[in-house]
Structure 1
């Protein structure tokens, strides 16, 4: 909605190509069969058809599908979560193995009802995937877990290949956009992860179009770099329903190109910036070389063992 109270029409570059081919249907069937949730569906991600149908990748959402927070940008259901599903880590790992994923992103609803924010289930999911799909690299995208150091230690002990926690927006807009989470606590979580595991790529994302200024975006870049973030994702905020925050501005592809150039000039090793860029978009391309070598070696080893049989 612009300053005159008129809803903004989506520009041409935000039109999404729908593709429901065999791979798309296969992944959807598998998710339902295993009673799993994906943030692709729950958050109404605009890239679901590209990722499922073309890249055959998905972002698993563990700890149920009910979030304890009510962020004003997010379409995930909010309420009181049910009990934990202790078999979920194994089902996620089984699905990763069946799909022979090269890279998997594991995220979750915020579970402020749990003392550790769900860190133990994250860790168990990582370990289960390592056992059943050792060739797959693993990225985690948790909430801030209330900044609890024990929770961060629990999760990082499982050694994910990439740690991702989203700052979401600039400092000035945080209270209006996010529920419970704070700007400085998110920075503290990112910094702590880098202290614990200096060689693990740390990633964060910011949405634009909520009324931030270019100067505020650059300030956020500086804050993220100062707190150990290596990879930055910048994407257009899209209003999931009329009940959510309005879009104040649609950024052009050229504006995203400029923001990417600025980010890279500040030392980010990778910046995914574009109208449809999201946390897990093209995540498989952001894995570091060491993890990629491990993946390629295990794939080759698996193929040799299969031929020997």
Structure 2
């Protein structure tokens, strides 16, 4: 949420997307039966919510309006979003607020590590807003958070989902030096959609970022994800798969785009479960170690279970025991 001033009354009010206030409304389509989920109410969900709030933390589960939050939080799985809840970019698909971010919280790495320990997480996902305002894009903060988790919970595996660090020299190298177990950076959509869907990013920079991770540390697992239903063509998705394989990316996730509000990019179509299955089959044939493709697939959904499968798949490919 961001505080803005009403130019007529002079009063201030809190709004989530001030940068989208003057954009025309688009109709939110009714979701098909295969996408609907129940509202979260379980005891485990409420316990996880309490741990998150008591440590003054932000989760992408809440900020992005993830449909899987009930199931994940019931099992005490959460994806922590560091460096605040205000992003410097205004992507047309994203439900995170855009504006001028606040200063970094120096205690946040330790607070995240404390929550990971309290929840007894075997695998944790750490993501962030874009911080183009910082000289290193927040690379040092990622580094500090990973190391704090390692110290508090040495047996917890760490997956990071990073911004693109566009024009931030040395930032990627700093993050990789902390040796996360999985380095994830999402392409989000096909290149023809970038101008309208992800205007602050550059498709081939993101491809190069993922490729560079493997050049620095060939053993580090890399991962990327996209949404479908944004108007992409099937052949564009297949070309994107090839681009990721050229960068030696191990894991691909594909999920249905869901429109957060009437001010966001509209859903152009709902991809059927059979179409997702076809994408999964093709992706495996192109050489990915792991593929998760379904209407409710999200980048961090089942991340812990998927990491175990990823390790097993690499071991099998290398002819070793998992």
TM-score, normalization: structure 2? 0.86
Residue 138 of structure 1 aligns to a residue whose secondary structure is strand
Task: Name the CA shift for 1:111/1:150 in 2 (closer, same or farther; >3 Å).
Answer: same
Q: Deviations over 1:34-65 (max 9, x none)?
A: 10000000010111001001x32000000011
Contact residue 236 and residue 251 of structure 1 kept, 8 A: yes
Unaligned runs of 5+ in 2: 1-25, 313-322
Question: Is 1:216–2:210 an aligned residue pair?
Answer: no
Q: How does 1:1-309 map to 2 (within 5 A)?
A: 8-53=29-74, 55-146=75-166, 148-287=168-307
Contact residue 175 and residue 182 of structure 1 kept, 8 A: no
Task: Name the CA shift for 1:6/1:177 in 2 (closer, same or farther; >3 Å).
Answer: closer
The structure that is helix-richer by fraction is 1
Tell me what 2:4 maps to.
none
> How many Å separate the matches in 2 of 1:94 and 1:80?
28
> How many Å separate the matches in 2 of 1:213 and 1:147?
30
Unaligned runs of 5+ in 1: 293-309
Q: CA deviation at 1:289?
A: 7.5
> How many Å separate the matches in 2 of 1:227 and 1:38?
29
> How many Å separate the matches in 2 of 1:44 and 1:288?
26
> How many Å separate the matches in 2 of 1:112 and 1:280?
23
Across the two proteins, how many residue pairs are aligned to each other? 287
> How many Å separate the matches in 1 of 2:308 and 2:48?
26
> How many Å separate the matches in 2 of 1:256 and 1:106?
26
Tell me what 1:307 maps to.
none
Q: CA deviation at 1:17?
A: 2.1
Q: Deviations over 1:72-118 (max 9, x none)?
A: 00000100001110110000000000100010000000000001100
Contact residue 28 and residue 261 of structure 2 kept, 8 A: no
Between 1:143-152 and 1:65-74, the stretch displaced more is 143-152
Tell me what 1:296 maps to.
none
Q: CA deviation at 1:252?
A: 0.8
> How many Å separate the matches in 2 of 1:281 and 1:289?
14
Residue 243 of structure 2 aligns to a residue whose secondary structure is helix
